């Protein structure tokens, strides 16, 4: 059996070798150039040219397309740069107008006109198809620089405007703060005048036979301003002495939920009103063993009306110095010893000197006692006027948890009506009410909503 010999591998012919050299010839590393502008042809197009044997015209067309694209990109960049320059020039024009600067306005106005002209030239160049920029990469770079400069300029102008607005707001704030301080000082001055000792001139021409419930209400409001001023002073002294205000509030009105923290002042006001008006229905008020001074009928009315006229037109400090043993002086002494607890006085001043003076029939000249004595004077005036009427005047308190009645009560705050619906009950009485004959002067109360029973 003949052995099988392997077929020899045929060698490449000369034609095949030549064809191989043409196909895989050495690539040129030098890119195309035109007028000094380098055109980097993508590798995909080069491979396409190699594989499909692009002729010279097709290569030139490819180079022309790349050049046109670069020119168009440079033109668009120049267009955006010019628009940014217009914005910057217009921003500078606005800045020159506030505050008004005629020279800066003229310069900025001319800059806006110049940039608009440049923008118009670009438009005409585009319409005439004359947008060739040589070299495009330099134009592109310069346009980007111009745009960045314009943007930075716009930011600087905006910062200047904002800085000017900040300064203007600062001046405005400073002016308003000065006005606020002046208003505060004026209010304090008015408050001092309202609460200071002095005449109550509104009823100067009122005769004994003319007094009516409207006069009583007017003097009541006059007295309440002084009571609230004393309450503010009292709370301020407590805070200075590091009192626990919440604990003090709970000791006066236990178990009451206040809608706001500043409503705690109503609890102190209720305490002061309760103590200072205690005994109001008695002719002697809180003065012991002096009922014999008051005879019935017209004589008693005349006595109290004369007391009212005398005390409403004098300084309380001056009157007490001149009349330390007067009926009003005895009333003030009794009220001070009853209302101001020794522990309270000691925590405020560190001693009981005021109490000792008052107890001995003298009256201290401290700020605390001045505020207290003015409150006492106005309440005494109200009492004297009440006993000047030819009809009975009586005071009343509203019991806790009573349903709210618009006839006999008014709420010291309006928030309760907007915050809760339904019915309300009295948490405590702040200011007592009065019956002047058949006229009811409403008491002022602090309310809480009535919680409906839970459904089972």
> Do 70 and 171 fall within a single domain?
yes
Given 335, 362, 387, which residue is the final one in a domain?
387
Backbone angles phi, psi at 33, to 5 degrees: -140, 155
| 265 assigned to some structural domain | yes
Residue 154 lies in a domain: yes
Beta carbons within 8 Å of 326's beta carbon, 6+ residues apart: 319, 320
Out of 129, 149, 183, a domain closes at 183
Model pTM? 0.58
Residue 374 within a domain: yes
Same domain, 176 and 219: no
Say what the pLDDT of residue 355 is: 93
State how far the alpha carbon of 428 is from the alpha carbons of 100, 258, 259, in Å: 64, 11, 14
Largest CA distance in the chain: 171
Last residue of a domain, one of 348, 365, 387: 387
Residues 110, 238: one domain?
no
Residues 6 or more apart whose Cβ sits within 8 Å of residue 62: 41, 45, 54
Check whether residue 152 and residue 96 sit in a common domain: yes
Residue 28, CB half-sphere, CA atoms under 13 Å: how many?
Answer: 8
Q: Which two structure tokens, joined as six digits, stand for 121?
A: 């030239």
The answer to the question of residue 11 being in a domain is: no
Q: Which domain holds residue 332?
A: 206-387
395 domain residue, yes or no: no
Q: Is residue 201 part of a domain?
A: no
**Is residue 251 a part of any domain in this protein?**
yes
- Same-domain pairing of 119 and 221: no
Residue 427 lies in a domain: no
Please tell me whether residues 246 and 159 are part of one structural domain.
no
Does one domain contain both 348 and 266?
yes
Q: What total number of domains does the chain contain?
A: 2
The whole-number pLDDT of residue 455 equals: 56
Give pLDDT tens digits for 411-439: 998 877 766 666 889 999 999 999 999 99
Radius of gyration of the chain (CA): 49
State which residues of the chain have pLDDT below 50: 1-41, 45-46, 49-52, 197-198
User: 210 with 178, same domain?
Assistant: no
Residues 315 and 347 grouped into a single domain: yes
- pLDDT of amino acid 72: 77
- The answer on 246 and 170 residing in a single domain is no
How far, CA to CA in Å, does 83 sit from each of 159, 161, 256? 20, 21, 70
Tell me which long-range contacts 358-363 makes (C-beta under 8 A, separation of at least 24): 358/333, 359/333, 361/324, 361/325, 361/329, 361/333, 362/324, 363/317, 363/320, 363/321, 363/324, 363/329, 363/332
Residues 305 and 368 in one domain: yes
pLDDT for residue 367: 92
In this prediction, residue 33 carries a pLDDT of 38
Please check whether residues 296 and 358 belong to one and the same domain: yes
* Nearest alpha-carbon partner for 62 in 31, 36, 22: 31
């Amino acid at each position: 059996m003949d052995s099988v010999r392997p077929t020899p591998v045929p060698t490449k012919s000369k034609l095949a070798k030549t064809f191989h050299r043409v196909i895989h010839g050495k690539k040129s590393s030098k890119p195309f150039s035109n007028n000094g502008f380098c055109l980097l042809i993508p590798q995909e197009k080069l491979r396409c040219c190699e594989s499909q044997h692009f002729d010279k015209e097709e290569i030139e067309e490819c180079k022309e397309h790349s050049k046109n694209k670069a020119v168009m990109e440079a033109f668009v960049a120049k267009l955006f740069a010019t628009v940014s320059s217009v914005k910057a020039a217009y921003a500078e024009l606005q800045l020159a107008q506030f505050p008004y600067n005629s020279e800066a306005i003229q310069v900025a106005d001319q800059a806006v006109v110049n940039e608009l002209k440049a923008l118009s030239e670009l438009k005409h160049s585009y319409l005439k198809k004359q947008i060739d920029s040589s070299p495009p990469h330099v134009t592109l770079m310069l346009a980007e620089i111009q745009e960045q400069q314009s943007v930075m300029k716009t930011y600087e102008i905006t910062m200047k405007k904002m800085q000017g607005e900040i300064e203007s707001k600062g001046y405005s704030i400073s002016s308003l703060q000065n006005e606020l301080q002046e208003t505060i000082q004026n209010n304090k001055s008015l408050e001092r005048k309202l609460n200071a000792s002095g005449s109550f001139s509104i009823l100067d021409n009122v005769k004994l036979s003319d007094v009516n419930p409207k006069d009583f209400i007017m003097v009541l409001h006059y007295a309440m301003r002084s009571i609230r001023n004393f309450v503010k002073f009292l709370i301020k002294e407590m805070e200075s002495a590091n009192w626990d205000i919440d604990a003090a509030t709970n000791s006066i009105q236990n178990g009451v939920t206040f809608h706001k923290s500043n409503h705690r002042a109503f609890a102190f006001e209720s305490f002061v009103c309760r103590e200072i008006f205690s005994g109001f229905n008695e002719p002697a008020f809180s003065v012991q063993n002096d009922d014999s001074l008051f005879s019935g009928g017209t004589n008693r009315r005349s006595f109290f009306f004369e007391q009212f006229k005398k005390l409403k037109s004098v300084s309380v400090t001056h009157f007490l110095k001149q009349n330390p043993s007067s009926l009003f002086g005895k009333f003030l002494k009794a009220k001070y010893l009853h209302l101001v607890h020794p522990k309270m006085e000691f925590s405020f001043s560190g001693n009981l000197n005021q109490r000792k003076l008052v107890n001995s029939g003298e009256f201290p000249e401290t700020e605390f006692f001045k505020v207290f004595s003015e409150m006492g004077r106005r309440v005494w005036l109200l009492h004297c006027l009440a006993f000047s009427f030819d009809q009975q005047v009586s005071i009343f308190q509203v019991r806790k948890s009573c349903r709210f009645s618009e006839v006999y009560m008014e709420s010291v705050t309006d928030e309760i009506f907007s915050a809760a619906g339904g019915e309300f009950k009295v948490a405590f009485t702040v200011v007592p009410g009065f019956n002047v004959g058949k006229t009811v002067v409403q008491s002022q109360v602090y309310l809480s909503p009535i919680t409906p029973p839970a459904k089972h």
